[in-house]
Structure 1
Amino acid sequence: MASFLADTDSDDELPVGWEERVTLDGKVFYANHQTKSTQWTHPKTGKKRVISGELPFGWERSVLPNGDVVFVDHINKKTTYTDPRLAFAVEEKDNVTDIRQRFDSSSTALQVLHGRDLSNKVAVITGANCGIGYETAKAFAFHGVHVIIACRDLDKANDAIKNIVKQRHHAKVQALKCDLSSFKSVKEFVEQFEALNLPIHILVLNAAVFALPHATTEDGIEKTFQVNYLSHFYLVKLLRQTLIKSAPCRVVVVSSESHRFSQVTKENLSSNLLSPPSSRNFSAMMAYNDSKLCNILFSSALSHRLQRYGVTCNAVHPGNMISTSLSRNWWLYRLAFALVRPFTKSVEQGAATSVYCATAVELDDVTGLYFNNCLQTSPSKAAQDIELSELLWILSDKMIENALQERSLLP
């Protein structure tokens, strides 16, 4: 997986006498007023561009009596001949992974969605009551998405919803209980969601714990591993048919650059998962690293399985040591996170890559990749190991089945 360098902004500037226009079917063309000619390719870059998607919120296309097409901005009470979606035109790609970088580490989630109208979308986000998940939910809700917050603490989730609605009275946000340390709770969440008869256009697997002491869940599984990875795996398994019926839709798996420090291999994966370390040999940091590698491997395996149904899946790194409640479990980590706070991303910036992968037009058919700072990049070699991802999938299925059988939760 190679990363792609962005063109400079100056490359997009048209020479004097040129104008950018768009056809009714979304193709961008260029008019030269000096020679009275038009062409499909940009006069400087030589590339073709297209627009797609709905008009921004508040805009309407209208045809005048003389046949001219105009665009009416009902919010600002103005009319123009220029399609406002030209601001979000993307280059036609020779290859699906030809992705031009439009945003970077300084971009926020709201900047990524500037001018977008997503009022026909439904999103489910785990762990969205605070931090990066909250900013992701807020950005979606501000742009018309019907957001479902999947959270174990409904009081905190409802407080988050109140904050969003206070800023945007039209926001559609609701919370459903989902405790990722319990397969039973995950199943109950899916049943509650399915009772709403809603599609899922965006699924963001965001929830995570960090630096937990050694503990096992009611399902008999090490807690960090289950919350960060295995319950998300189970959630997607239960929602599989809903995702397929909702296609095109996107799954975004929030991972971390710390996946590069995982020591999981094909040789030790089975023993690590089926026989996790005892409390004496447990490393909270390594457990986190391993879970984040599993997130990327899962994203890759899921993309192979669902791509043909119109479901894409990409993994993301939100940023390093962002000031959220993630570090709450040990005072030393809280101190470290506080010390680096001036040098790291804000939570608004941390949510940008998740939002970008969930909504960017240029990623319509892009799947199975890893993104950092809104740009495709290469994960570790282990994360790119297809055999390892398939082995993880098989073992994950086995672990869930064993846990459900032991607790008599299988139908």
Structure 2
Amino acid sequence: MAAVEGIFDTDSEDELPPGWEERVTTDGRVYYANHTEKNTQWVHPSSGKRKRVLGELPYGWEQHTDEEGRIYYVDHVTKITTYTDPRLAFAVTEDKEWRQRFDGHSTALQVLQGRDLTGRVAMVTGANCGIGFETARSLALHGAHVILACRDLHKGNQAAKVIRAERASVQVEVLQLDLASLRSVKQLADNFRLRELPLHFLILNAGLFGVPWQLTEDGLESIFQVNHLGQFYLTQLLEDILVKSAPARVVMVTSESHRFVELKGLPLTEEWLSPSSDRVWPVEQYNRTKLCNVLFSQELHRRLSRRGVCSNALHPGNMMATNLARNWWFYRLLFLLVRPFTKSLQQGAATSVYCGTARELEGIGGMYFNNCCRCIPSPDGQNERAAVELWEISERMLTARTSKFSL
């Protein structure tokens, strides 16, 4: 069918016909100016939709007023000056129907598109590589002051160097954190406290997978201490800073593998959590710690949400190209074989960034996410009694091992 004369022919319903301009009112409402007929209207001339811009200007942009009283915008990153509100690129349709904004194909940078996190401080554990690095990088490129908490200072500094090379103005710094040492956890918390910074996003990303049974210097099974107890301790040590910085969020990176554990109504014990011998298979122990992550996140939210700190847990994706499989050749080979079918690291970081920064999650927590969407965890992952037991056991284990530290 031939196009009707005078109707703009386009593949995009959001593209404006010739002679039209998109503008924004001071309260964020989008309107359309027709320079041919010298009139304006609230609805898009092609789609008939109404739109609105939300929130702050994107990172790097500032609003100014010229001598004639007209508002213009300056991007200090790209050195662009324009009279067009940059938030128009992220305008949302004013529909009554809710649609999921992001999914398993979304990247962390897409989740943060249009956001300015200037003045926000984030700490990401395990941030020198993999999902943690992409999480830290994405937050830093949108204005956040990011602390890379890494076991290997050299690798952490190399990661920070890569981020700075991408944009010199980013604020990133590295602190040493060995979750297999409770003393190291305490030292990181003390070092962070000396900086007198707030803390708005604590992203507990670090993890250990596939190592044979071994005890840490604190006498605990290594996978349990790195994946749960060390990060539990870090959160406790930083709790007062999180509360003072409220609204603040704790993001717990866990795994769908938490579903492979069954408590069968039995109470949790220290021996079940941190086996004193090698009778437990490393993958089984990893799954147990991932269940601990889900339970810890829920109980943390229950205890701190009234003080302005919310917590959510998430699954980042399956068998991505991270260093998680570095400890055994079989897992390295398996992860390599499935790599073409899994998420990229940027996609893997998307749900962490979403849980940490999404406006619609402000003040909301105690939930579990996958692909930037809320999911229901396993029945044991919803066990409130087990969550309380885990918290109490974790506190007892810490008290027995950290009483010698100066608190």
User: Normalising by structure 1, what TM-score?
Assistant: 0.84
Q: Which structure 2 residues correspond to residues 285-364 of structure 1 after superposition, within 5 A?
A: 285-364=283-362
Amino acid at match of 2:287: N
Distance in structure 2 (CA, Å) of the matches to 1:237 and 1:142: 28
Pair 1:90–1:389, CA change in 2 (3 A): farther
The structural deviation recorded for 1:124 is 0.7
Amino acid at match of 2:142: H
Amino acid at match of 2:26: L
Amino acid at match of 2:236: K
Amino acid at match of 1:232: Q
Pair 1:22–1:299, CA change in 2 (3 A): farther
Pair 1:242–1:273, CA change in 2 (3 A): farther
Distance in structure 1 (CA, Å) of the matches to 2:95 and 2:287: 35
CA distances 1:210-256 after superposition (whole Å, capped 9, x unpaired): 01111111222111011001111110001000001111222111001
Distance in structure 2 (CA, Å) of the matches to 1:20 and 1:86: 8
The structural deviation recorded for 1:330 is 1.0
Q: Which structure 2 residues correspond to residues 238-253 of structure 1 after superposition, within 5 A?
A: 238-253=237-252
CA distances 1:3-56 after superposition (whole Å, capped 9, x unpaired): xxxxxxx99959999997654344x366798997659xxx9789x966113x11
2:49–2:94 CA contact under 8 A, matched in 1: no
Is 1:219 aligned to residue 221 of structure 2? Answer: no
Q: Which residue of 1 aligns with 2:282?
A: 284
Amino acid at match of 1:151: C
Pair 1:318–1:218, CA change in 2 (3 A): same
Q: Which residue of 1 aligns with 2:379?
A: 381
Distance in structure 2 (CA, Å) of the matches to 1:60 and 1:66: 18
Given candidates 80, 83, 87, the residue that maps to 1:80 is: 83
Q: Which residue of 1 aligns with 2:234?
A: 235
Q: Which residue of 1 aligns with 2:194?
A: 195
Distance in structure 2 (CA, Å) of the matches to 1:401 and 1:273: 19
Q: Which structure 2 residues correspond to residues 367-378 of structure 1 after superposition, within 5 A?
A: 367-378=365-376
RMSD of aligned residue pairs (Cα, Å): 3.1
SS at match of 1:351: helix
Amino acid at match of 2:307: Y
Distance in structure 1 (CA, Å) of the matches to 2:145 and 2:66: 34
SS at match of 2:124: strand
Q: Which residue of 1 aligns with 2:150?
A: 151
1:56–1:85 CA contact under 8 A, matched in 2: yes
Amino acid at match of 1:302: L
Aligned identity (percent) is 51
Given candidates 52, 55, 59, the residue that maps to 1:52 is: 55
Is 1:62 aligned to residue 64 of structure 2? Answer: yes
Pair 1:37–1:240, CA change in 2 (3 A): same
The structural deviation recorded for 1:275 is 6.3
Pair 1:186–1:211, CA change in 2 (3 A): same
Q: Which residue of 2 aligns with 1:182?
A: 181
2:121–2:198 CA contact under 8 A, matched in 1: yes
Deviates more, 1:15-24 or 1:298-307: 15-24
Is 1:124 aligned to residue 126 of structure 2? Answer: no
The structural deviation recorded for 1:63 is 3.7
The structural deviation recorded for 1:99 is 7.1
Distance in structure 2 (CA, Å) of the matches to 1:247 and 1:108: 27
Is 1:264 aligned to residue 263 of structure 2? Answer: yes
2:200–2:247 CA contact under 8 A, matched in 1: yes
Amino acid at match of 2:245: S
RCO higher in structure (CA 8 A, sep ≥6):
1
SS at match of 1:176: strand
1:212–1:284 CA contact under 8 A, matched in 2: yes
Given candidates 374, 399, 402, the residue that maps to 1:401 is: 399
